[in-house]
Amino acid sequence: MVDLDGAGVEAAANELSKSGFDAIAAQADVADEAQLGRVKDMVVARGGRLDVLVNNAGGWRYGTLDEITLEDWDWTFRVNLTTVFLTTRTFKDLMIARRYGRIVNVASTDGYRPKPKLPHYAAAKAAVVSLTKTMAEELGPHEVLVNGVSPGAIATETAKAQGWLKERIPFIPVRRVAEPGDIAEVILYLASPRNRFVVGETVMVNGGMLMV
Tens of pLDDT, residue by residue over 24-44, are 999 999 999 999 999 999 999
Compute the average pLDDT of residues 96-125. Answer: 96
The residues pairing with 131 across neighbouring beta strands, listed in sequence order, are: none
User: Residues 6 or more apart from 190 whose CB is under 8 A from it?
Assistant: 102, 104, 145, 147, 149, 198, 203
Taking the CB of residue 149, how many other CB atoms lie within 10 A of it? 24
- C-alpha angle 84-90-91 in degrees, rounded to nearest 5: 95
Whole-angstrom Cα distance, residue 144 to residue 138? 9
What was the pLDDT predicted at 3? 96
What was the pLDDT predicted at 99? 97
Catalytic residues: 121
Average pLDDT of the chain to the nearest whole number: 95
Tens of pLDDT, residue by residue over 149-191, are 999 988 888 888 888 888 889 989 989 988 999 999 999 999 9
Whole-angstrom Cα distance, residue 112 to residue 22? 37
The more confidently predicted of residues 134 and 157 is 134
What was the pLDDT predicted at 157? 83
First and final CA of the chain: distance in angstroms? 32
Q: Is the pLDDT score of 131 beyond 90?
A: yes
Compute the average pLDDT of residues 14-18. Answer: 95
What was the pLDDT predicted at 155? 85
What was the pLDDT predicted at 83? 98
pTM: 0.94
Q: The sheet that has 144-151: what strands, in order across it?
A: 52-55, 101-106, 144-151, 202-205
Please name each of the domains of the chain with its CATH number: 49-205 (3.40.50.720)
Q: How confident is the model at residue 2 (pLDDT cuts 50, 70, 90)?
A: very high
- Residue-wise burial string across 150-183, b where 16 or more C-beta atoms lie within 10 A, e elsewhere: bbbbbebeeeeeeeebeebeeebeeeebbeeebb
Query: Length of the chain in residues, anyone?
Result: 212
What was the pLDDT predicted at 48? 87
Share of the chain above pLDDT 70, in %: 100
Whole-angstrom Cα distance, residue 130 to residue 202? 9
Compute the average pLDDT of residues 84-107. Answer: 98
